[in-house]
Each structure stands twice: as structure tokens, then as C-alpha cells.
Structure 1
Amino acid sequence: MKIAFLYNHDAVHQIPHTIPVASALAARGVDVHVLTSSAEQRETAASLIAPGVAAPGTAVTFHDLTLSWPNRLADHLLRPVLPFKRIAILREHATLLGSFDAIVVPETTTTLLRTRFGVSAPKLIYIPHGAGDGAAGFRKTTRHFDLVLLSGEKVRDRMLSGGLITPDNHAIIGYPKFDIALGRPVERFFDNDLPTVVYNPHFNPHISSFYPFGRAVLDWFAQQDRFNLIFAPHTMLFKRAIHITPIHKRIGWRGNLPKTLLDHPRIRIDTGSRRSVDMSYTRAADIYLGDVSSQIYEWIAQPRPAIFFNTGGEDRATSPDFGHWSLGEVITRVDALPAALDRAITNPDAFKTAQELRRDLTFSMTETPAGERGAEAILAFMARSASATG
């Protein structure tokens, strides 16, 4: 049995969500292939494979997926508007991808193999990269997967109610990223004892607080002396200077950060290193500041104060896409931030009960690691499929 783990994105943030499952399958003797579309992805995936599994002679094979020069040029021109590279990678490597028994992915673009490029043989298996509430995690394309592996009841129930999965084509396995992140020591990033805020805005200009508020937020932290700040936005924010959302007709110009912020003793800026995606900052900080990132759910693995910027009006407060706003205080202006931070320090447990309830619905935690549970679910599914066709 040949099972591929495909990483086909501009950044590396999706890799920790599935690589523990690859490790667990390889340890069971499955012929595992890791396919990456950049050197950074390959390096990250190789570093996260369980120790010993990626050694010579084991069952992990790495493949580099590259583009022809015309498609590289087209990607350079079209990158701000659409994920051209991801689509071109699928098209150019359709024959290789069609040679596997199953393909495991943390995103939904891969369904184009089946719907557009005629690759029908492999089973498509989806492990979402995150467990948030945003609409991006509940796309209709989910229906094209043969098996969907989920973190817990919250996501399962919403997908079932939306007709995105069926009672028979999914399993709850927990959150594989926790297998990697929660066992490491918590790092210390400042040489003082001030409370630390992590600011984690999204990159999508339709929902992000960075475009209207980001510079003002950074300037406020630079001018005060009561808090440390870790600015660790969604890793895609600094991958492009311009972000466009054609559906909502929104354009966001990211801009550059002034050098005074880069050298500030109480501000740490990370626009996309490994620490920005491996929970280093969400584990080390005391207060979360953001808008819609699914990292809020990684944050409440250990309940702590959270503050959210609402940049889109009152109607968002009742939408399931913003359900995480029940886990902290919601503000609409930067000048409301100082008082919100004061309340977070004075009453850090104000949202603890709500966070614990939501955490337990979002993440299924057992003595068996999620990577192992995912491997078992995949093997059981492949055995059922073989039996049904045999």
C-alpha cells in the first residue's frame, strides 16, 4: 500500500497537522511518500517526521514537486489573485499523484485532481489544518473526500449539519499538531517579567484586523512599557505584499514594518519562521490578541485571556464563522485596547469556563496520540475499501 502525504502550499503551516500521521503509518511498515512543492516544506516535513522513521532504509520517500518555467512565470504574475502554483502542481504531477493508493492532505485544493484533472484512483483523505470556525474550513469541496479525519465533536457536528461529511466517511482522531507541540518545553522570549501579548492577525483583508489596525496596534505597544508583544501573524500575511479576495472584492496592502519596531526590546516580530507555526508563541504568551485565526483554539488548549478585533460590524457576532468570539472580549477600536488589556490582567479567568467547554468540544484528547489514531483510522478505511472492491 502506497500512501502519499501532499504538502502543496506557499507556506509550511499546514505540515504539523498531518505529519504525525505519516510517522505513525511509516512505523507500521506502510510505504509512505512525502510530496512537497518547496525546499522549505521538504525541510520542515523531514524535521518533523518521528525520530528514526526517516532514517535510510525505512518506508518514507520524499518527492520534490516542481513547475515548468512557463508555469513559474505565470505563478509570479498571478500569485496575488489566485493560488496558481498549487493548481499547476496538481496538473503537472497528476500522473505521479494518480499512482498512489491514497493521498492525505491538510487542504481542499487537492480535490481538483478528481474534479478537473481526471485522477480518480487514489482515495482522497482530508485532515483539516486547524479546528477554527471560519468559513474557509467548511467548504463544499469537502464532499469530494473519501475520508475526513477531524479533531473533535465541534467540527464534526458542523460538517454533518452542512452535508459536508456523512456518518460513514469520517472519524474523530484528535489534533495531530498537539503530538508535536505539547511535549516541548515552553520557551522564554523576553528577559523581563512583563506579561506578554501575542498579536496574531489573519491575512485575508475581508476579515483581518491588520490592514485597518495593525500599524496602530504595533505603535501602541512600542510606546508603552507594561507589556511585551510578540507579533506573529498568519504566516501567509508576509508571503505577499498584496492580498486580494475576489469574492468579497477586498484588497489589502500589507506594507513594510519600520526598523524601530524590529529592534524594539519589548517587541518580537516573526513573519513566518518555524516558531510562528509550531505553537511556540501561543504557549509562551499570557494574552491572545487577534481576529479570526484558528490559532485561538490552539491557544485555549491552556485557557488564558483573549481579545478580538471585530472589523466587520455587529452581524458577525451572531455568525458561526465567528463563534470563537465567545472566548474573550471583542473590541472594535485600537483605543479600546488598553482597557481590554487591563481587564485581562485583573480578571484572567473571566472566560476560562467558556474556553474549557469549547476546548473539550473541539479536541478529542485520549491517551493514544492523534497521529496514531489517524493512522489506525486510515488503515481501517483502506481495509474496508479493499474489501468492498474485492
Structure 2
Amino acid sequence: MQKICFLFNHDQTHQIAHSLPIALQMAKSGVADVTLAVTSILVEAEIRRLSGAGLAGMKIVRLQTRSTVSQMLVRAFDSLVPARKLLVYRDNLDFFRQFDALVVSEKSSLILKSRYGLEDIKFIHTRHGAGDRAIGFNAQSAQFDLILVSGEKIRDRLVCDAGVPPEKIRVTGYAKFDIIVPEHKPLFAPSDRRTILYNPHPSPHLSSWFKFGANVLEQFYQSDRYNLIFAPHVMLFARRWTVTIDRLSIASAKKPDPRYNDAPHMLMDLGSPACTDMTYTNAADLYLGDVSSQVYEFLNRPRPCLFLDAHDTLWQGNPNYRHWTTGPVKTDASDVIGAVDAAFASQASYSDAQRAVLEASFSVTATPASVRAATAIIEYLDEAIG
């Protein structure tokens, strides 16, 4: 039986549901010896919350930085860059060596192969999200032995943009949709207001937050037209400074005015589990955002979208902004309420575009995505390792 480690090495919880359903399916079917490795109490708690009884029979191991030097570096730099995330690899090489395969939703784990020489382990990438950002299709992707993708759009861009050989890719659907979202109490008191989700991204050179965000929140605060859920990407306020590597940029995200917390028609959530388990994308009537891949989870049930372009982007025909074809794009923060009204009114004109991006982004069959993914991993390992 193959020994497989599902690694959850992140400060926040937003990547968990992209691989956890696959691990749960493997454990349930008994096709592999599955270990879940985590690097924070927060992540472990979210895994337990989402898994319920599905964790029975699986091992959870919490990895830590072990050396004095690593711990010093974490204290010095982790508020700025993901120091702990990188150092935990170096300090746990013996742990990783015991496995036939490492399943991850991000790319930092490739350091185990490129720097620390763990060539005998098969590196399997589940990705996280079905978004369009260029960083998701960079050359690093080709270093994985197997990549599981949600749909043809992802497969085609990995081949064309990242140079990934087609035989390394399996289209298995979107495993996150197999998660059963825990029930929440109603988000707002009963009213005839429709609900808007504002979901800005953390990357300073792409996000609407740094330039438009405060203005957007103030307009909803002053308006009596809509309920607003403010649930940004959980990394927007996770560190004192936001640093991006796809285009080097750094900025400090100022948190919203506290008075919004007391507005009955505004829900301010800067990082609870509901930000990542589709609670808000399921509950909203309109998606307001910029480049977050959560728009695709929202569009799984097509509804109006409105996008905020704070960077004068030449986006038409650019595959990195394909999701902007699914709703109007606004290039300033004036009269956002009026733009929301117009987006609701124009929804019919975007229905074909929304249908097209869904079909390209999510492969749907009678077999759940997590089952398809688990099968693809086992078949690959049986052939590659025997």
C-alpha cells in the first residue's frame, strides 16, 4: 500500500478544501496509507471541523521548526514573509523521506526536490482554486510529477504557458465542491435587501482594496439598498506587510473602520473559516471583487458579478482576466451602489459568458471530483512506483 502525505503548510485555511476531500476519500476507500501533515493549530482545527468523522483511521502530524536558527529566523521575518513555511521543510526532511508521494495545493514544497534532493518522492499538485492569475501557470508547475486540474481551461494553460507535458495532467474536477459546508445561522436579519459579497485580493498590484476599498465600504455603510459581506482573501490582513513575488510589490493593508462592525446591514469578516468554506459565496446575490479565484466558486450557481479595476488594466482578451468577461468592470470607486444596480439589471447579457467559463473551469461528471482525483493518484503511483 502506497504511503501518501497530504501536506497543509500555510498560515491560513484557504487551501485546505482543495486537497482534503481527496485525502478523506482515499482513507475511506482504504486504497492508501494516508497521513495529514499540518504546520499550525489553526489549520489542524479547520481540518477537523471540515472532516468530522471522516478523519477516523488517519494520522495527523504537526510539523514544527526544530532548530534554534530556524526559530530565530521565524521570529525575525515571519511577519513579513512566510519564513516558517519554508524552514519547516529543512527541519523535517526525515519525516518527508518516508512517503511515496506528497500531495500539496501550493508550490513551496518543491524546495524539497530542488534544494534538498528528495527525488524519490512523487510530488502531486492539486492546485487551489480555478482562477486565472498568471502565477498559477508559471514554469514551477512543470516540476510536479502529477497535476490534478479542475477543468480544460487549467489543463490547456498549463501546457501552453507553463510547458507542462500533457501526460502529467489529469482533469478530475473541483474537489472543494465535495466539502459539506457546516450550517451557519442567518447572516442578516430578515429583510428585502439583497446581499453583496466584496472579496478583494491581497496582491497590491492587482487588488482593488488599497485604492478603492475604504470608499467602497463607506458607500455601503451610508446606503440602505443592500446588505454587504466584506470577506476579503484571508491573506489581505494576515501580515503587517503584503509582499507579492509574481510582480514584486509590497504594501500595508489598513484594516476597515471599526464602526462598520456595528452596522446591522454589514458583516465584516477578516479571516474566519466562513471566508474559505464557501459560506459567503453561496449566500450572496452579487459578487464584487477583482482577481480572486473565489469568483468561480460563486459562479458555480450563476449570479451577477461586478469587478473593480484599480490599475487601468488592459484586460480584454487577456486570459489572466477571463473572469472579467462575466460581469461589468468598473475603473473607479464612484457610485458603486449604482454600478451594483446596473450589474443586477444587465445579468442576462452575461449569462452566456458565465456558462462558458464554468464549462471550461469545472469538469463535472457523475463521479465526485474527490473520487476522480483519488483514483488518478493511485493509478499514477501504481504505474510509476508499482
2:47 maps to what in 1? 45
Preserved CA contact (<8 Å) 1:33 1:61 = yes
Equivalents in 2 of 1:218, 1:163: separation in Å?
38
After superposition, the C-alpha distances for 1:5-50 in whole angstroms (9 at most, x for unaligned) are 000011011000000100111112221000000011111112323x
1:63 maps to what in 2? 61
1:12 maps to what in 2? 13
Unaligned runs of 5+ in 2: none
Preserved CA contact (<8 Å) 2:327 2:347 = no
1:189 maps to what in 2? 187
Preserved CA contact (<8 Å) 2:290 2:307 = yes
Identity %: 36
Equivalents in 2 of 1:322, 1:135: separation in Å?
9
1:264 maps to what in 2? 263
Equivalents in 2 of 1:222, 1:73: separation in Å?
43
Query: What letter is aligned with 2:23?
Result: A
* Partner-residue secondary structure (3-state), 1:317: coil
Corresponding position: 1:326 with 2:349: no
Query: What letter is aligned with 2:13?
Result: V
| Residue correspondence of structure 1 range 274-313 to structure 2 within 5 A | 274-313=273-312
1:199 maps to what in 2? 198
Equivalents in 2 of 1:134, 1:333: separation in Å?
21
Per-residue deviation, 1:193: 2.2
* Partner-residue secondary structure (3-state), 1:238: coil
Corresponding position: 1:35 with 2:37: yes
Number of paired residues? 382
CA distance change for structure 1 residues 120 and 361 in 2, over 3 Å: closer, same or farther?
same
Query: What letter is aligned with 1:188?
Result: P
Preserved CA contact (<8 Å) 1:196 1:229 = yes
* Partner-residue secondary structure (3-state), 2:177: helix
Per-residue deviation, 1:168: 1.2
Per-residue deviation, 1:375: 0.6
Unaligned runs of 5+ in 1: none
CA distance change for structure 1 residues 164 and 278 in 2, over 3 Å: closer, same or farther?
farther
Question: Which shows bigger deviation, 113-122 or 160-169?
Answer: 160-169
Preserved CA contact (<8 Å) 1:187 1:280 = no
TM score, norm. by length of structure 1: 0.94
* Partner-residue secondary structure (3-state), 1:4: strand
Question: Which shows bigger deviation, 165-174 or 17-26?
Answer: 165-174
Equivalents in 2 of 1:347, 1:306: separation in Å?
10
Query: What letter is aligned with 1:261?
Result: Y
Equivalents in 1 of 2:184, 2:175: separation in Å?
19
Per-residue deviation, 1:140: 1.1
2:141 maps to what in 1? 142
1:78 maps to what in 2? 77
TM score, norm. by length of structure 2: 0.95
Query: What letter is aligned with 2:49?
Result: S
Question: Which shows bigger deviation, 254-263 or 190-199?
Answer: 254-263
Query: What letter is aligned with 1:236?
Result: M
Preserved CA contact (<8 Å) 1:21 1:375 = yes
Query: What letter is aligned with 2:25?
Result: A
CA distance change for structure 1 residues 162 and 314 in 2, over 3 Å: closer, same or farther?
closer
* Partner-residue secondary structure (3-state), 1:13: coil
Per-residue deviation, 1:80: 4.9
CA distance change for structure 1 residues 142 and 273 in 2, over 3 Å: closer, same or farther?
same
Query: What letter is aligned with 2:188?
Result: F
Corresponding position: 1:176 with 2:153: no
Preserved CA contact (<8 Å) 1:21 1:372 = yes
* Partner-residue secondary structure (3-state), 1:171: strand
Equivalents in 2 of 1:164, 1:184: separation in Å?
39
Equivalents in 1 of 2:244, 2:147: separation in Å?
27
Equivalents in 2 of 1:247, 1:77: separation in Å?
23
CA distance change for structure 1 residues 3 and 247 in 2, over 3 Å: closer, same or farther?
closer
CA distance change for structure 1 residues 340 and 254 in 2, over 3 Å: closer, same or farther?
same
Per-residue deviation, 1:169: 1.2
2:55 maps to what in 1? 54
1:231 maps to what in 2? 230
Per-residue deviation, 1:339: 2.5
CA distance change for structure 1 residues 280 and 247 in 2, over 3 Å: closer, same or farther?
closer
